[in-house]
Structure 1
Amino acid sequence: MTGSAAPAQLGEVSGRDVLRGSLGAFRGRISAAAVLFCGHQAGEALVPVLVGVIIDRAVATGDPAALVGWLAVLGLDFLVLSFSYRFGARRAWSAEAWGDARLRRLVAGRLLHPRGGGETGRLPGELSGIAVSDAKRVAELGVAVPLGFAAVAAVAVAAVSLLTISTTLGLLILLGTPPLLWLVQLVVKPLQKRSGPEQERAAQAAGTAADLVAGLRILNGIGARPAAVRRYRVSSRDALGATLRATRAEAGFLGSVQLTNGLFLALIALVGGTLAANGSITVGGLVSAVGLAQFLVGPLQMFGFLSARLAQGRASAARIAAVLSTDPTVGPGSLPEPAPGAGPGALSLRGLRHGRLGGAEGLDLDVAPGAPTGVVAADPEDASALLACLSREVEPDAGRVELDGVALDAWPADVARGAVLVAAHDAHLFTGTLRDNVLAGAPEGTDPDPAMAAATADQVATTLPAGADTDVSARGRSLSGGQRQRIALARALAADAPVLVLHDPTTAVDAVTEVRIADGVGRFRAGRSTLLVTTSPALLDRTGEVLFVVEGRVRSRGRHAELMDDPAYRAVVTA
């Protein structure tokens, strides 16, 4: 097991595959736990048997030596069952913990796979629920399954013990347990049926809540908070209804199992009492029989527990399998070395169309080393479509993206993204120091200072207690929006990609800082290819050619100063 999530193998995966993989990966631990738990339950079952023997052979006869001897045997039995449970629990919970970690890595590996697609159609909160709650439920079978084997062993030992006391009692256990198990499986079906919808709707509600919290400031800013609250209220009520239905099913299931077990054990006690009254068994035998009947409450309840966990585990495994089986959004690429970036770094778009972007003719664009090229999109959706194609998050509907004359999709997606680096305006920071964040994607031995100076992130460092060595919290929440944005920009610059695509890198900084950043980026990227997808006049003023995209089509091209004569263009960049 490694500490990082490796790219997952793509392909069709079923819920059964997830269950088998989870249990099979730690079959050694689970098997050892099952053996030890069986030893524990066998020891527990022998306790009432030994008590009955002590009564018949020591107490009733008044033999002190026999009393000491059988008490020693009873003590040895307690020692064995205690040892068995202690070490069996270690292995079972170890299998659960490692199984949980393994499933989380599988889900994370699929979500981080270079070809993408794992997150399609799912909210971030829902994906978190699958990686945490569903993985936990499947991993819990690492404990439930050994306990199930132990329950079988307990019933077997109890039945054999009762056979030695009374054939009638032993046969009652042997013949009565199979119908009892069949009844358990019958009543667990409603729980299994409702577990899936309950988990699905709860995950959707959690996903909606997580997304609303993440975008709360934006929602307040545009006045959309009431609509968002209504959306969450509907999702939450839906999840609550599903949870209540599943809880009622589980309560009915557990109540039915408890009632059935109680009636069965009462029957065993009644038959044992009748046999004792008729003199068919001894007083010690009656004590053993009643003790075994009481002991069987636990194993019989364990069958119900295992059935419930299997039902919930199957539903969770199906949800995990759905993520692992999602189709990738981009092709594999198979071009061998040399890797992209060996040439001058000229980016070309020819007839590119994706959704509305490009219209009927397609979008043509050239980004060459030198002054940055700008793209101004009147509709943010057109900008998003362009960035998705350049970052290899999707395959274009038509046309080609080329780097130094070679189609970008000829390389594997992760290699292509390293050559054409798309830096989103809302990029997150990582836990670690400011310096670590800047150097996260930089070549080894890179000096972070020039990139930080170009992005004015050095000014951020001067305001922090330990400068560039100050720890940054997850997603940079300990910093202001403008500080986060400047550090993220420095990180993109330090990566020194052959082609750098910046999307609105200065939306959270003041006008003076924005001008400094525009100058700094121009100097830092001199001689390299840079594409600015932005509406910032300060950045556009430092570009060479600018494309103005309206309704997916290129309305005009030219220098920023020239395009400012167009009222539509001016309205977009000065809004």
Structure 2
Amino acid sequence: MSLQALPHADPGVPDTRSGLRFLLWLELRQIGGQVKAALWGTLHMAAVACFPAAVGIAVQAVVDGSGGRLAFAGGLIVALGVVTAVGDTMLHRTAVTNWIAAAARVQLLLSRKTVELGSLLTRRVAAGEVVAVSTGDVEKIGWFVEALARFACSLLATVGVTVALLVYQPELGLIVAAGVPVLALSVLPLLPHATRRADEQRAKAGKATELASDTVAGLRVLRGIGGEELFLSRYRQASQEVRGAAVRNARMWALISAVQVALPGLLLLAVTWYGARLALDGRIAVGELVTVYGTVVFLLFPLRGFEEIAMAYSFSRPSARRAAAVLALRRDSAGDSTGDHRGTWTPAERLPAGDLHDPLTGLLATAGELTAVVCGDPDAAGTLADRLGGHSPSGAGDAPSVLLGGIALDGLPLTAARATVLVQDKDPVLLSGTLTELLDVPASGHVTPAEALAAAQCGDVLDALAQASVDDSGDPMRSPITERGRSLSGGQRQRLALARSLVADPEVLVLDEPTSAVDTHTEARIAQGLRALRAGRTTVVLTSSPLLLDRADRVVFVEDGTVRASGTHRELLRADLGYRAVVTRETEHEPEGPEGPRGPGQSARLEKAEETA
């Protein structure tokens, strides 16, 4: 294929049952490019293999004093030089194209898998491992795809030249025919050791990458507690372990390279010694000896392809296994276990609006209302948010799918589920770019960026971006936002992420602690703006903030994985002790007052919550 056709319109469905099956699947997906590379490589090898014969003709022509044969040999060498140059050039072009095409295919598959899994990806696979798979592992997989075509033409050249020597000079050809299989298979006993060392190096490199990414992500916190040196020493130790593993790996491959040089050298010595004896006895001509010698020297070239394919496979096999493990992940663990709940849906139909219902917890969010959910366990809130977005967490077993209007979200195509239900987790990511680019997301068009920014109370953020404008316009929409919004405070990042979600205006919006880093005055205005802007749309907010809870049409209290109570914020505050404990941060063993358990300072907190309500 041509590089102009990249990226692939359809990368296909990979075979992720094992690393080897994944590599074979990649080979079959671009078999045309592999055949082209093998043909060009065979032409190149054949031209190079013919050089010893042409030189032998020239030498024998000089010995016999034949000017005509010498001229013929000269012309043959020129023609072989042209063919060699063309074949080598086209082999390089097609082989590199295969490499890039394979790497691009794997990158596209990984990108689609990242989009499919969303935040679940880093919960199932470490972030450093994902980075390592999408960078170094992709390169090694592409290397194997490229090397396989060169190995195919090397194998053909080796077999062809060996057979030709047997026909041309049987006595010397027998020595070559006996020695070539030994040379080709000599590295096999060393490959398991080399593979283990390559795996060890890759594993240590993945851990070091994971440690580095975690350190960079938490650099601001580390500086705040003075922990830079501690984590720097940990990374230094991890990098030294990677260096040591790389040195041990390099020593093994140096040994393999030495074997691949020493054994062919011994074969060349044996052929030269025996051929010289045959020439002295007059059993072969000098030109024939030169031809055989040159042919054996040529064999050293394709035999290097055997070493390359062994090295490429040893490095790419664990890389392919890790890539296949990531690509094998699925966004739903329930599979077809949802049974009758799954319903029917086709892409041509518009997904009907309806109540959002989670059969596992019993949560019901009425269509068109603002529903607040209070969880006794903060980690359970994140898990519930993922479920409401149609992402069954790892280990969900036979848990039924969340239903929207009676249709299972796990049974919908990914594009339909994402277009209908949007989940904003408690730690949203802001990509680098301008504010305009940040808010340029797939949207219904009913909410403008200005309305979303106003509802999310981003006025001070706009002022800060305007002051940091790189041009003289002072337009905050054109101001750049650094990666992950590191130049902004936590509250500012949170509000911009909320504005992005509001611009999308999905049928169902799930927000996990959207105002945890915002002060109370701003939070109150956000609660009011959120309710007004999402009027008529289904909104679920997982929070324990009284300011948000009071604006909700209905509050649901979830404890130990099931719905314990529901009602308005005021009703639950007075009627449910567990709910009150979570919202007001009370302890259950504080003494009771006339209206329930109250201790020192508790009455004030409760009165404040009621006043807020």
Q: Deviations over 1:19-61 (max 9, x none)?
A: 222112222221121121122122222223322321221x335
Aligned twin of 2:113: 110
TM-score when scaled to structure 1? 0.83
The reply to whether residue 270 of structure 1 matches residue 270 of structure 2 is no
Question: Given residue 45 of structure 1, which amino acid in structure 2 is its aligned partner?
Answer: A
Offset at residue 119 of structure 1 (A)? 5.9
TM, length-normalised to structure 2:
0.79
Amino acid at match of 1:43: A
- Which deviates more, 278-287 or 474-483? 474-483
Deviation string, structure 1 residues 243-298 (Cα, Å, up to 9, x no partner): 45543432332222222222222222222233333333334334333333333322
Match of 1:383 in 2: 381
Q: Give yes or no for contact 1:205–1:235 (8 Å, CA) kept in 2.
A: yes
1:240 and 1:536, CA in 2 relative to 1: closer, same or farther beyond 3 A? farther
User: Which residue is equivalent to 1:500?
Assistant: 509
Counterparts of 1:69 and 1:104, CA distance in 2:
52
8 Å Cα contact 1:375-1:531 kept in structure 2: yes
Structure 1: which amino acid aligns with 2:548?
A: L
Superposition map of 1:426-437 within 5 A: 426-430=427-431, 432-437=433-438
Is 1:114–1:413's contact at 8 Å kept on the other side of the alignment?
A: no
SS of match in other structure, 2:539: strand
| Equivalent-residue separation in structure 1 for 2:409 and 2:74 (angstroms) | 79
Moved more, 70-79 or 472-481: 472-481
2 CA distance for matches of 1:10 and 1:175?
A: 41
Per the TM alignment, residue 81 of structure 1 is displaced from its structure 2 partner at its CA by: 0.5
Q: CA deviation at 1:235?
A: 6.1
**How many angstroms does 1:105 deviate by?**
1.9
Query: Are 1:298 and 2:301 counterparts?
Result: yes
Q: Would the aligned equivalents of 1:23 and 1:30 in 2 still touch at CA under 8 Å?
A: yes
Q: Which residue of structure 2 lines up, in the alignment, with residue 360 of structure 1?
A: none
Q: Which residue of 2 aligns with 1:180?
A: 183
- CA distance in 2 between counterparts of 1:112 and 1:567 reads 38
Are 2:538 and 1:529 equivalent residues in the alignment?
A: yes
Change (3 A) 1:25 1:348: closer
**Equivalent residues of 2:357, 2:365 under 8 A apart:** yes
Equivalent residue for 1:171, pick from 174, 197, 204: 174
Amino acid in the other structure paired with 1:376? V
1:88 matched residue in structure 2: 91
Distance (whole Å) between structure 2 residues aligned to residue 225 and residue 399 of structure 1: 45
| Aligned residues of 1:144 and 1:309 also touching (Cα < 8 A) | yes
8 Å CA contact retained: 2:144, 2:312:
yes
Distance in 2, matches of 1:77 and 1:317, equals 39
Equivalence for 1:359? none
Match of 2:323 among 297, 310, 320: 320
Query: How many angstroms apart in 2 are the aligned matches of 1:191 and 1:336?
Result: 52
Compared with structure 1, are the counterparts of its residues 30 and 161 closer, same or farther at alpha carbon in structure 2 (3 Å cutoff)? same
Structure 1 residues 403 and 50, CA, compared in 2 at 3 Å: closer, same or farther? closer
- Give the whole-Å Cα distance in 2 for the aligned partners of 1:7 and 1:290: 48
CA contact (8 A) 2:11 2:105 kept: no
Residue 24 of structure 2 corresponds to residue 20 of structure 1: yes
Instruction: Verify the 8 A CA contact 1:424 1:504 in the aligned structure 2.
Output: yes
- Name the residue aligned to 1:331: 335
Change beyond 3 A, Cα 1:139–1:366: closer
Runs of 5+ in structure 1 lacking a partner?
Answer: 354-362
Q: Aligned equivalents of 1:88 and 1:260: distance in 2?
A: 28
What aligned pairs does 1:123-522 form with structure 2 within 5 A after superposition? 123-156=126-159, 158-159=161-162, 162-163=165-166, 166-218=169-221, 242-326=245-329, 328-331=332-335, 333-336=342-345, 342-343=352-353, 345-349=354-358, 352-353=360-361, 364-367=363-366, 369-370=368-369, 372-394=370-392, 401-404=402-405, 408-409=409-410, 411-412=412-413, 414-430=415-431, 432-443=433-444, 447-457=448-458, 460-461=461-462, 463-464=465-466, 465=469, 466-470=475-479, 472=481, 474-477=483-486, 480-522=489-531
Q: In the superposition, relative to structure 1, how do residues 322 and 502 fare at CA in structure 2: closer, same or farther (>3 Å)? A: closer
1:422–1:502 contact (8 Å) kept in structure 2: yes
In the other structure, the counterpart of 1:37 is: 41
Moved more, 273-282 or 498-507: 273-282
The offset of 1:127, in angstroms, is 2.1
Per-residue deviation, 1:398: 5.7
RMSD value over aligned CA atoms?
A: 3.8
**What CA deviation, in whole Å up to 9, does each residue of 1:92-141 have, x standing for no partner?**
11111101111222233334336997666421221232233223222222
Aligned to 1:140, what secondary structure does the other structure show? helix
Question: How far did residue 520 of structure 1 move?
Answer: 1.9
Amino acid paired to 2:258: G
Unaligned runs of 5+ in 2: 337-341, 470-474, 575-579, 587-604, 609-613
- Asked whether the equivalents of residues 456 and 495 of structure 2 are also in contact (C-alpha less than 8 Å), the reply is yes
Q: Residue type of the partner of 2:40?
A: L
C-alpha deviation, 1:478, in angstroms: 6.0
The correspondence for 1:51, drawn from 42, 50, 55, is 55
Could you give the per-residue CA deviations for residues 519-568 of structure 1, whole angstroms, max 9, x where no partner exists? 32122112333222224454344334444556656677665567778465
Residue by residue, what CA displacement relative to the aligned partner does 1:492-511 show, whole Å, maximum 9, x if unpaired? 11222233221222344455
CA distance in 1, matches of 2:47, 2:550: 83
Q: Percent identity?
A: 33
Change (3 A) 1:116 1:221: closer
Cα distance change, pair 55–11 in 1 and its aligned pair in 2 (3 A): closer
| 1:404 Cα offset (Å) | 4.3
Q: Please state whether the residue corresponding to 2:585 is helix, strand or coil.
A: helix
**CA distance in structure 2 between the aligned counterparts of 1:291 and 1:543, rounded to whole angstroms:** 86
SS in 2 for 1:81: helix
Is the partner of 1:213 in helix, strand or coil? helix
- With over 3 angstroms needed to count, the CA separation of the structure-2 counterparts of 1:139 and 1:348, relative to structure 1, is closer
TM superposition shift of 1:378: 4.4
CA separation in 2, counterparts of 1:290 and 1:409?
68
In 2, Cα distance between equivalents of 1:109 and 1:246:
33
Superposition deviation, residue 489 in structure 1: 1.1
Is 1:76 the counterpart of 2:90? The answer is no
Higher relative contact order (CA 8 A, sep 6+): 1
Mapped partners of 1:144, 1:329: distance in 2: 37
Give 3-state SS (helix, strand or coil) of 2:186's partner. Answer: helix
Note the alpha carbon deviations across 1:328-375, whole angstroms, 9 max, x for none: 4243645226968634x443455x34xxxxxxxxx54544534x3333
CA distance in 2, matches of 1:7, 1:91: 19
Q: Is the 8 A contact 1:115 1:330 kept in 2?
A: no
The one-letter amino acid of 1:74's match is I
CA contact (8 A) 2:334 2:401 kept: no
Which has the larger displacement, 423-432 or 6-15? 6-15
- Structure 1 residues 237 and 340: alpha-carbon distance in aligned structure 2, compared to 1, 3 A threshold: farther
Distance in 1 (CA, whole Å) between partners of 2:44 and 2:9 is 37
Contact 1:48 1:292 (8 Å CA) reproduced: yes
Cα distance change, pair 426–114 in 1 and its aligned pair in 2 (3 A): closer
